[in-house]
Amino acid sequence: MSFKNGKDYLYLIWQDKVSRRQYIVGQLSKNGQYEFCYSNEIKDALEAGFKPLVPFDDLNKTYYSDTLFSTFSSRLPDKKRKDIRKILEKYGLQEYDAYALLKASGARLPIDSLHFVDPILDISTAFDRDFYMAGARHYLACDGEDCLLVTELDRGDQLFLKKEPDNKQDAYAIEIMTSNNKRVGYIPRYYSKAFTRLLDENREIVCHVKRIEKNKPCSECVTLHIEVSAIA
C-alpha cells in the first residue's frame, strides 16, 4: 500500500538516459496538505546528472502547500480538454482528481525523464499494481528501435517472477519470465526490494500483460498488472 502514518505517498522517479538506471529522487505526500522532499537516493542521482527541480532548490527542506504544487499539476492534462473523460476512463477514474491522476498516469512528459509511481510501503496486505515493465528494449525483439517487432508477448499473457541475486546493478533484481522460462524484462528497480521480500515469503503473486502499446517509447510499451495475496 502507499499509505503510511495517515499520508498518501507518491515517489518521484528520474531515469538516467545513459545508464537507464532509475532513481527515487523525491517523495510527494498528501494528508489535507501536500508535502514534497527529496529522497535518500538524491545524492547518487545528482552524481549521475540529475538537476534539482527549480522550485525545490534546497535538498534538505520539506516543502508544504495547501494545493498540489504547480510543478507537478502542470504535468497533467487540463481538466477542460474535450477528451478528458476518455483520459479519466483510461486510468479508471470517475472524476478529475489531480492527485489521483498523478498517481494513475505517472505524469510522464516527453521533455524530461521524470515520472511518479505508486510506492509499495506495506506488503502485509493484499494489493495490486499496474506498471511498465523494465528492460523491454533489451529482451524483446525490437532492439529499442522498432516496437512493431514485439511479437513475443500478447495482452493477457501470464508471466512469472524470478529473483536474480547475482545482478551487479541491483541486488534485489527480479526477472520477468514467460511460461517457457524466457526472460522478457525486469520488475522496475523501485519495486524490486518489495517483490524480493514477497518472493521470500512465498506469497501468491499473479502477473499478466495488461497492455502493449507499440507506439510508445520502450520504457512504456508493456504495462503489467500484478496482484499479490494477503499473508495466509
52 pLDDT band (50/70/90 cuts)?
A: very high
* Dihedral-angle region of residue 20 (phi above 0 means left; psi in -120 to 50 means alpha; beta otherwise): left
DSSP label of 147: G
Q: What is the pTM of this model?
A: 0.87
Q: Which long-range contacts (CB under 8 A, 24 or more apart) does 24-27 make?
A: 24/190, 25/50, 26/53, 26/56, 27/119
Structural fold of domain 127-228: Alpha-Beta Plaits (3.30.70)
Per-residue model confidence (pLDDT) at position 136: 75
Query: Which comes out higher in pLDDT, residue 140 or 85?
Result: 85
Total Cβ atoms within 10 A of residue 133: 25
Domain boundary assignment for the chain: 3-117, 127-228
Per-residue model confidence (pLDDT) at position 154: 86
